[in-house]
Structure 1
């Protein structure tokens, strides 16, 4: 559990089109085996410590002829941003994905002392 030490809690959110591979025959649509896409997200303001980031699929366009395999996560979370990562494998064919993200964390307080 993440405990926040002050009343200044920041919530930032956004929506990103992670990829659209069906238009140009990209790897997520035509490839097989392990595949990955990453997209950098910048928060609108810096958090005091790395926040908790929740990601979810807001648009899902996939081929139904094969099994749908997917892993979606936020990685490399810092006070300023993170990377949204989508992975698939096997014969899954993914045309496009849009992702919604939300970051919740503690903001700096005017009374904070920075001695270092």
Structure 2
């Protein structure tokens, strides 16, 4: 679960205008270089009386992790969101060669 703002009247549920929620993801093992990250919405619960606006992305991607970022704006009321992510990249291997 990325957030559940309807439970405690959080900003995604009660606010208006630009709003953002960040979730820091830390990889179990660091990658050799910043990997490719794809994020998607797995569950979306919003008020039907307002426009449903949303943007989800991966930002600040490093070898160790990334920020999963959800944004909404205007009068949208988002109760809760669950997100999925997949990472594609090279992990270190004992057979890797390091020159110099």
Query: Please, what TM-score do these two structures have when normalized by structure 2?
Result: 0.94
Deviations 1:38-80 (A, max 9, x none): 0000111111110000000111100111111101000000011
What does residue 112 of structure 1 align with? 97
SS at 1:68 equivalent:
coil
Return the structure number with greater strand share.
1
3-state secondary structure, aligned to 2:13: helix
Return the offset for 1:108.
Answer: 2.3
Stretch deviating more after TM superposition (106-115 or 72-81): 106-115
List structure 1 runs of 4+ shifted beyond 4 angstroms: none
Normalization by structure 1: what TM-score? 0.82
1:73 corresponds to: 57
Alignment deviations for residues 8-61 of structure 1 (CA, whole Å, 9 cap, x no partner): xxxxxxxxx111000111100000000000000011111111000000011110
> Structure 2 stretches of 5 or more lacking a match?
none
- How far is the alpha carbon of 1:106 from its aligned partner? 1.4
Q: Superposition RMSD on alpha carbons, in Å? A: 1.0
Q: Which residue of 2 aligns with 1:94?
A: 78
Long gaps (5+) in structure 1 = 1-16
